[in-house]
Amino acid sequence: MKKSIQLLQTGLLALLISFFFSSDLKAQIEEPDVIKTQRDAVTLSDEYESGFGININMNNFGFGIGGEYRRVVGPQSEIMFSLGITGLRDESEQTFTDFFFGQQIIPNKFKRGLAFPLMAGFRQRIFPKVVQENYRFFVSAQAGPVAAFTYPYFNDRNGNNYRETGNEYLLIEDNGEIFVQFAQPERVNDVFSRMGDGDWHWGGAGEIKLGVDIGSNFSRLNSIEFGYYFYYFTEGIQMMQPKQPVIQQQAGPNQSPYVWENGQLVLEDFFEPQKFFGTPQITFTFGWLW
């Protein structure tokens, strides 16, 4: 009996060993090879040929609006043409609002400005085989001429290229009495005033952008773009005040802090004409594809 039990144990052990080392079990515990899914990106030329969109952009110059035309020239490439109108200003401008009357004042501002860029460029789709069709990423660049129109920010009554605020004063002593003579303040023009006194300037414009067209409906154009926008004017534009009052180095108790001659403020050079204007920009485009 004891011998039979030993034979049974030996047989069971041999059976277990053969089970674990069998080729069938090994095949069951091995994972199958991963099969890569082949994905062919949709080409732009298969879905549409042209497109037209209305642009709304926001940057450090303010808001802008324009239009653009796109034309497919390759499987994932487009050329584009755009025309727009945007604000133009110095980045150092700071706007202050009167608490009681709501009037907005920008210290040292000399001119208001508008820019009209006309540009042509190229768009290239990126990651077409990775990102789904309802989010189509592009990089693009544009360049072209720009016309800028500037007109006076304030009523420069005496033509000295400096805006008197009324805080400039001269102390006058007469027979032992001291009188205060204040400069007459010059008012700020509203946004539509003095356009007839404006000037035109010609230069170059350009931008580089990363954008995404949204939606799998290839009959509608909806996109958002982030980029850098810039203008260059070879002769420069005087956007900020070219003059400022000369300050007394050592003013006595009965002296004005400003330098006066013949009842007029003595001025010195301040801001120089600006040639380069650059700003980050966000652009929203809505339109049609066909």
pLDDT digit of tens for each residue in the chain (290 aa)?
Answer: 555 556 555 665 566 566 555 555 455 556 667 666 666 678 998 999 999 999 999 999 989 999 999 999 999 999 999 999 999 999 888 888 876 766 778 999 999 999 999 999 999 999 988 887 889 999 999 999 999 999 999 999 999 999 999 989 988 877 778 888 888 999 999 999 999 999 999 999 999 999 999 998 899 999 999 999 999 999 999 999 999 999 988 877 778 889 999 888 999 999 999 999 999 999 999 999 99
Tell me the C-alpha distance between 30 and 34, whole Å.
12
How many other CB atoms sit within 10 Å of the CB of residue 54?
14
Q: Give alpha helix (H) positions in the chain.
A: 2-20, 23-29, 44-47
Closest CA to 124 of 44, 24, 31, 188: 44
For residues 174-190, one letter each, b for 16 or more C-beta atoms within 10 angstroms of the residue's C-beta and e for the rest, the string is: eeeeeeeeebeebebbe
CA distances 155 to 158, 186, 266, Å, are 9, 6, 19
Long-range contacts: 6-12, Cβ < 8 Å, 24+? none
Identity of residue 150: T
**Pair 148, 233: CB distance under 8 Å:** yes
Q: Which of 128, 190, 136, 188 is closest to 164 using CA atoms?
A: 188
Query: Which residues share a beta bridge with 226?
Result: 210, 282
